[in-house]
Chains A and B, each alone.
Chain A
Amino acid sequence: MRRLTPDTAHALAAEYVLGTLRGRARNRFEALAREDRDLAGVVRRWEAGLTPLAGRIAPVDPPARVWRAIESRLAPRSSRAASDSWWRGLALISGGLASVLIAAFLWLAAGPPDDALFVAVLTGPDAAPRMVVSMHEPDLMRVRMVKPWSGTQGKSLELWVLPASGVPRSLGLVPNARGDTLIRVATTDARVQGINALAISLEPAGGSPSGLPTGPVLCSGVVAPVKKA
């Protein structure tokens, strides 16, 4: 495909963002920008340039049905009433108590539950367990891969702590292979404070370039405290 000259790229991107680029031209341009990273960059710069205009528009509250409709479209799989708390929802999806029991079983199979401070079963979209993560000692987290992923060549798996509030925090990369990975992290470490759940995302080789998850979530699970025996 012929590349646009910089001037044409800018002119088209500007009218695309402004909205005056219409009809087939708009569709064609959109298709071009999907293929061409540079062109997509020009579009983003025009968005950054023009959208502050929208800051002067006074907000208008949408009716409550809009959010209900959005929510229903996010969860076509679940027939349960939408839960306010995602954590609760996730616990239900991943089998709640059952997964804690599975975790406990796996844990016991691996040895006595010494100082395990928490355990989490990370399940994929099909609810199949993929990993069991446990705080083995006050300064050691064990990541047990139950079922590795295929087709992830050239990518890395990154483990994230999802705190009760705030942004996800990375605990680093995890090899995509059956077996245990030990991560040295203390229960007092800032990264695990307020830990609510854990998730694995698929990232470019070497991990997220931005420090926040960028790829799809492969599995996730809530953290269940495990009392000392």
Chain B
Amino acid sequence: MSVDPAQARLAGLLARSALGDRGAFAELYRAAGAKLFAVSLRIVRERPLAEEALQDGFVNIWNHASDYAQAKSAPMTWMTAIVRNRSLDIIRRTREEPDIDEELTANLADEAASPAREAQDRAEAHSLQRCLGELDAEQRQTIALAFFHGLSHSELAEHLRRPLGTVKTHVRRGLLKLKDCLMRAGVAASEGR
């Protein structure tokens, strides 16, 4: 893991939160809350639901802060996973019509192989961008839709007007290619078991 000072700061705040330091936890929320709210908002779409996901997510983060040290992930990765999981739980009970951010998804397709932007200056993000660039356009679009908007296979099929089986294959093959590429790039994401 790189020694990104921002991540190191978040790791320190998590460690203090694990010891019951509410001030540190409040600071953690101020540092990461808006980012995680945005992540959730794209998945659950409605602000009240995103507020619920963020609230539950942060209560989870507080309750499990002492597990973080064993997670060996970057703090933002660990927290994002918690909030995304909560958001996915929430849409399972509420989802009707997904509303897609075409621009974000299209951007991902267009810029997959472009040089880093400020938010992606970490090695992992570089590798991921490059590896996404190795996917064919449809695989990439399918994966992006699922990641950003929490679409299920059938929602993806509906949105992309493709048969369910085709969509499932795109996801599966896309992820497999991604894994191989990330492994070559040496990203921890895809070491063998």
Q: Do A and B come from one complex?
A: yes
Q: Measuring CB to CB, which residues of chain A are less than 8 angstroms from any residue of chain B?
A: 6, 9-11, 14-15, 17-20, 22-23, 26, 38, 41-42, 44-63, 65-67, 69-71, 73-75, 83-87, 89-90, 160, 162, 166-168, 199, 201, 208, 210, 212-217, 220
Docked Cα-Cα span, A216 to B38, in Å, equals 31
Question: Once the chains bind, are A52 and B124 in contact (CB under 8 Å)?
Answer: yes
Say yes or no: is B162 at the interface (Cβ < 8 Å to chain A): no
Q: Which residues of B contact A9 (CB under 8 A)?
A: 193
Q: Which of A18, A55, A59, A84 contacts B175 (CB 8 A)?
A: A18
Residues of B within 8 Å of A, CB-based: how many?
Answer: 80
B-side interface mostly: helix
Q: Which of B16, B107, B179 contacts A167 (CB 8 A)?
A: B16
Nearest B residue to A39, CB-CB: B193
Q: Which residues of B contact A201 (CB under 8 A)?
A: 18-19, 66
Question: Once the chains bind, are B69 and A214 in contact (CB under 8 Å)?
Answer: yes
Q: Measuring CB to CB, which residues of chain B are less than 8 angstroms from any residue of chain A?
A: 11-12, 15-16, 18-26, 29, 33-35, 37-39, 41-43, 50-51, 54-55, 58-59, 62, 66-67, 69-74, 76-78, 80-81, 84, 88, 92, 104, 107-108, 117, 119-120, 122, 124-125, 128, 143-144, 146-148, 150-153, 156, 171-172, 175-176, 178-179, 182, 187-193
24 sampled A-B residue pairs with Cβ under 8 A? A11-B172, A19-B84, A19-B147, A19-B152, A45-B189, A47-B189, A48-B124, A49-B178, A49-B179, A56-B117, A57-B148, A58-B38, A59-B35, A62-B50, A66-B55, A69-B51, A70-B62, A74-B62, A86-B21, A86-B22, A89-B22, A160-B19, A167-B16, A217-B19
Docked Cα-Cα span, A199 to B33, in Å, equals 27
Q: Which of B77, B150, B188 contacts A19 (CB 8 A)?
A: B150
Nearest B residue to A166, CB-CB: B12
Q: Which residues of A contact B151 (CB under 8 A)?
A: 19-20
Question: Once the chains bind, are A52 and B128 in contact (CB under 8 Å)?
Answer: yes
Nearest B residue to A87, CB-CB: B23
Question: Once the chains bind, are B24 and A45 in contact (CB under 8 Å)?
Answer: no
Question: Once the chains bind, are A49 and B128 in contact (CB under 8 Å)?
Answer: yes
Question: Once the chains bind, are B152 and A86 in contact (CB under 8 Å)?
Answer: no
Nearest B residue to A88, CB-CB: B23
